[in-house]
């Protein structure tokens, strides 16, 4: 058998990818950073070990199509409406504010309005893959800043669709009025294609999946999913729209069927494989010579991504009435170049909106921002200076540390609950039914409203603030119970409670047993570990299913609990 094109180069990329990723993992850096480094190393501007750059870029485009398809799989029409209702305002503030400010700065620096709009688009988009990975690893997806970041990322991903429609029109030399007409026409055509595709496919796709599912062939199911993904992308490209739009539509169509979870499970390995190639191809665009040739320009663009964009995202979070800490962490989390920024940049190059000389520094700065993001997101919770700087702006925008409405005065012997999720609601109801007074501090506005509707004293407050704890009369409390989903914030609340009311007992819920030593170092002796309590519940249920007498179940669970206590598990 003769030589197979790309085989040696893909082998080299895979081997180096594993080696560099494992090396960076020792420094707790994500795999994406390793893939970017591999691309920079083997690419044409590095050692030049990969010669078929164009072929690699084609594979990378397939990765983008699969990524959009899986994003579409997460959004049925019903969920899409729900997402827009909850995050549209915050996402629109971040995307709109960033686009307007960056476009204004670009035009002030001598760039034309069309190129200014393009720069605004690029700066408005953040890295979904890197940020979600960081939030997941830090267990902060359900934290207030995590919810804002995730919602904003979803909105950004949806904004890619109109952006890729507008960018080709920016290359037109027609007057602004004609360009606006062209944008409206393109958006109208996209709307017709979207509606038509959803209606037609919504009638046909469920029947096709029913036939395929009846065959009980995994191969046929996988090929059907791939055919739908690539087929809708191809059809939208024939209509003059982007491949990404078609892939997203295909995902949404499948999301409306009962086969969405199976489809996601089948397509994820392929998506991850092609996305690895995508990040390697992105790293290949990093040209160290550009950095050496224009260090000031690259540094300014990097500053714009990390600092300027972060400040604008922080302002958007403050405008949504989030406290300073949530806004600060949200700004840091969104301050980098995004995967779809690469897509829009390549599209702009293809249509002549910008040339290679302008794209080089932009991509180099963007790739560097992707490298520093994991470090920034890890360090940000440790710095309170950012929150103190935001305090005047927080007061200016009317963000309150605690909502004083109907707060009981002169509380004594009450319980302060921090967090009003599932556990918080159950604990609050149990205490109220037992006649124990409570005060609940919560940063999720929806949870606050739900608590108020139940007639409970739930207040919008940041418990990491001494002011909020004093308003809750924590120094006179019977106990403080921490039921938060933000581990880093939990440690700050503990430290704050110890300063304000050192003698008040603390009960802390944590997810993992490994957190106990750190909590013990802060003087917290009463800890509920979800990991071990869940394990005990599993033991109990398994014994009950095995028809073990109740006395035997109680005895065995007590024995396991005692062993865990002796081992330091409780």
DSSP 272-283: HHHHHHHHHHHH
How many alpha carbons lie under 13 Å from residue 152 in its C-beta half-sphere? 36
Distance between CA atoms of 32 and 280, rounded to whole angstroms? Answer: 9
Burial 262-293 (b: 16+ CB within 10 A, else e): bbbebbeebbeebbbbbbbbbbbbbbeebbee
The token pair that represents 529 in the structure block: 């570990």
User: pLDDT per residue over 423-454, tens digit each?
Assistant: 888 889 999 888 888 899 887 777 888 888 88
pLDDT of residue 389: 61
Domains of the chain: 27-392 (1.20.1530.20), 415-566 (3.40.50.720)
pLDDT of residue 405: 47
The token pair that represents 26 in the structure block: 């020792």
pLDDT of residue 302: 93
Distance between CA atoms of 519 and 304, rounded to whole angstroms? Answer: 38
| Helix ranges, 454-515 (H) | 466-471, 487-500
The token pair that represents 466 in the structure block: 């001494």
Across the beta sheet with 438-442, what order do the strands follow?
458-460, 438-442, 415-418, 479-482, 506-510, 526-529
**CA dist 309 to 11, 102, 216, 519, Å?**
37, 9, 50, 35
- pTM for the model: 0.70
The token pair that represents 304 in the structure block: 């714009």
Cβ neighbours of residue 304 closer than 8 Å, sequence gap 6 or more: 102, 123, 365
**CA dist 388 to 82, 143, 323, 329, Å?**
34, 20, 11, 13
Distance between CA atoms of 104 and 122, rounded to whole angstroms? Answer: 14
Q: For residue 407, with 0-12 CB atoms within 10 Å meaning exposed, 13-18 middle and 19 or more buried, which class applies? A: middle
Please report where in the chains the tokens 């003059």 appear, as a residue.
Answer: 240
Distance between CA atoms of 371 and 462, rounded to whole angstroms? Answer: 31
Query: What is the DSSP pairing of strand 415-418 with strand 458-460?
Result: unpaired
Distance between CA atoms of 283 and 305, rounded to whole angstroms? Answer: 17
Distance between CA atoms of 76 and 92, rounded to whole angstroms? Answer: 21
pLDDT of residue 5: 65
Q: Mark the ranges of the chain whose per-residue pLDDT is less than 50.
A: 400-401, 404-405, 569
């Amino acid at each position: 058998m003769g030589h197979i094109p790309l085989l040696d180069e893909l082998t080299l990329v895979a081997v180096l990818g594993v080696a560099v990723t494992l090396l960076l993992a020792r420094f707790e850096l994500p795999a994406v950073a390793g893939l970017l480094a591999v691309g920079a190393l083997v690419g044409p501007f590095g050692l030049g070990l990969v010669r078929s750059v164009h072929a690699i870029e084609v594979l990378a485009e397939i990765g983008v199509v699969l990524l959009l398809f899986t994003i579409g799989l997460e959004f049925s029409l019903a969920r899409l409406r729900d997402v827009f209702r909850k995050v549209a305002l915050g996402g629109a503030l971040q995307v709109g504010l960033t686009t307007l400010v960056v476009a204004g700065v670009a035009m002030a620096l001598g760039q034309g309005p069309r190129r200014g709009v393009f720069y605004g688009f690029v700066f408005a988009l953040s890295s979904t893959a890197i940020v979600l990975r960081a939030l997941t690893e830090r267990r902060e997806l359900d934290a207030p800043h995590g919810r804002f970041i995730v919602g904003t990322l979803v909105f950004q991903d949806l904004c890619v669709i109109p952006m890729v429609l507008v960018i080709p029109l920016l290359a037109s030399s027609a007057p602004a009025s004609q360009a606006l007409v062209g944008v409206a026409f393109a958006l109208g055509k996209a709307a017709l294609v979207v509606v038509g595709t959803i209606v037609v496919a919504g009638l046909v796709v469920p029947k096709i999946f029913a036939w395929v599912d009846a065959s009980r062939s995994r191969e046929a199911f996988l090929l059907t999913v791939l055919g739908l993904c690539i087929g809708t992308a191809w059809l939208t490209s024939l209509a003059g729209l982007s491949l990404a739009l078609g892939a997203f539509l295909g995902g949404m169509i499948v999301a409306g069927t009962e086969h969405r979870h199976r489809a996601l499970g089948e397509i994820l390995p392929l998506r991850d494989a092609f996305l690895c190639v995508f990040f390697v191809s992105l790293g290949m665009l990093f040209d160290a010579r550009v950095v050496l040739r224009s260090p000031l320009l690259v540094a300014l663009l990097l500053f714009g991504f990390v600092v300027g964009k972060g400040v604008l995202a922080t302002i958007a979070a403050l405008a949504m009435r989030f406290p300073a800490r949530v806004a600060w962490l949200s700004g840091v989390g969104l301050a980098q170049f995004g995967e779809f920024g690469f897509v829009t940049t390549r599209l702009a190059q293809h249509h002549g909106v910008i040339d290679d000389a302008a794209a080089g520094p932009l991509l180099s700065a963007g790739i560097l921002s992707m490298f520093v993001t994991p470090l920034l997101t890890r360090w940000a919770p440790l710095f309170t200076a950012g929150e103190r700087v935001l305090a005047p702006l927080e007061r200016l925008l009317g963000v309150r540390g605690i909502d004083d409405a109907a707060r009981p005065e002169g509380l004594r012997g009450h319980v302060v609950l921090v967090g009003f999720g599932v556990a918080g609601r159950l604990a609050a109801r149990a205490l109220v039914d037992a006649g124990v007074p409570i005060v609940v501090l919560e940063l999720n506005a929806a949870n606050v409203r739900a608590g108020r509707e139940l007639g409970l004293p739930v207040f919008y407050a940041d418990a990491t603030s001494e002011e909020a704890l004093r308003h809750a009369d924590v120094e006179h409390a019977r106990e403080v119970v921490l039921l938060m989903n933000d581990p880093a914030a939990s440690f700050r609340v503990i430290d704050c409670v110890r300063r304000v009311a050192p003698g008040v007992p603390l009960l802390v819920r944590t997810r993992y047993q490994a957190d106990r030593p750190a909590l013990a170092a802060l003087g917290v002796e009463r800890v509920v570990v979800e990991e071990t309590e869940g394990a005990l519940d599993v033991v109990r249920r398994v014994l009950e299913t095995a028809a073990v007498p109740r006395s035997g179940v109680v005895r065995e669970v007590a024995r396991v609990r005692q062993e865990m206590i002796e081992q330091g598990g409780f």
